[in-house]
Chains A and B, each alone.
Chain A
């Protein structure tokens, strides 16, 4: 029993350290903390579901914006602006800080109809969301391991 407790404690420690590092490296901000607060025993998959919806949105929006930016002589900046607006909104609601910050630059490029700038931002947003997706997958895996070992997910306080 003591051995089991140590395993759980170790996993909880790893989880906590990993989550804190994601905040420190700027991947997440305190909106993610707010999301975790909304999860409870009755809704244990809430954060994972919401995050999954967010990544689906990212993928769809990036594809459509890419199409709009494709032909230099015929860029639909209105469509791109709409996509960036949605992406900025959802990344903000999820706590995806780096993605949100790219969206801010992206919007500026769109406002001045800078196609090159938009393409760079598009590439960056694609990179950032995929990076975050990997990181959060690792986090959820740690969570799962804790639960399977019979432990509780720690409430992590970020300052």
Chain B
């Protein structure tokens, strides 16, 4: 019974109208930020744009590789954004001071954020650059100008993390049945809804 309740929640979410994905877009060019923002909105995503890798790390609650929960960390940013779920990070490669690759590395090395899919954009087609990013864990590498068709490739990646987060929530707040035992963790599967 507990397992099916989890399955029901996942099923309902998957079958509901277009779930809201929140994307963090990083680009030092105002022009490119405006473009990617509109593209993402058109693809029905919620968007936050920042103009540097540092601001991105700040937004994610990481700061130059130091996690916000570290008591020794000097935090100049009073606002903690950890409750804001980010389903995808899309970043330009060529940025001053911190490149998209550097940002990718920081994200993948953090325990809090390593599961957030990262996509790199670049106006230059450099195969060595592309493979380096993919090896470091980037999900996709888009050549600019990015188009709506490119963004549609991202939905499966974002859906994966959304479902994972949902599952993690269930684990953290387990429900008990009448006998008082805690529900076992089950793999989410889309079952039919006849078990209501």
Contact = CB atoms under 8 A, between A and B. Distances in A.
A49 B31 contact: no
Interface string A39-65: 010010010011001100100000000
A38 B31 contact: no
A34 B29 CA distance: 19
25 contacts: A34-B145, A37-B148, A38-B39, A38-B42, A38-B148, A40-B42, A43-B38, A50-B31, A50-B35, A50-B38, A53-B30, A53-B31, A53-B34, A54-B31, A85-B94, A88-B123, A89-B29, A89-B144, A90-B29, A90-B31, A92-B123, A93-B31, A93-B32, A93-B144, A93-B145
A31 interface: yes
B160 interface: no
Nearest to A31: B145
A89 B38 contact: no
A54 B144 CA distance: 15
Contacts of B145: 31, 34, 92-93
Nearest to B122: A89
Number of chain A interface residues as a range: 20 to 34
B31 A46 contact: no
A96 to B, nearest CB: 11
Contacts of B30: 53
Question: Does more than half of chain B's interface fall in helix, strand or loop, or is it mixed?
Answer: helix
A86 B147 contact: no
Interface of A: 31, 34-35, 37-38, 40, 43, 46, 49-50, 53-54, 57, 85-86, 88-90, 92-93
B147 A89 contact: no
A93 B35 contact: yes
A131 to B, nearest CB: 20
Contacts of B144: 89, 92-93
Kindly list the 7 A-B residue pairs having the minimum CB-CB distance in the complex, ordered from nearest: A93-B145, A89-B123, A53-B31, A38-B38, A90-B31, A31-B145, A38-B42
Contacts of A37: 148
Contacts of B29: 86, 89-90
Interface in B36-78: 38-39, 42
A43 B42 CA distance: 10
Centre residue among A85, A90, A92 by max chain B CB count within 10 A: A90
A99 B89 CA distance: 31
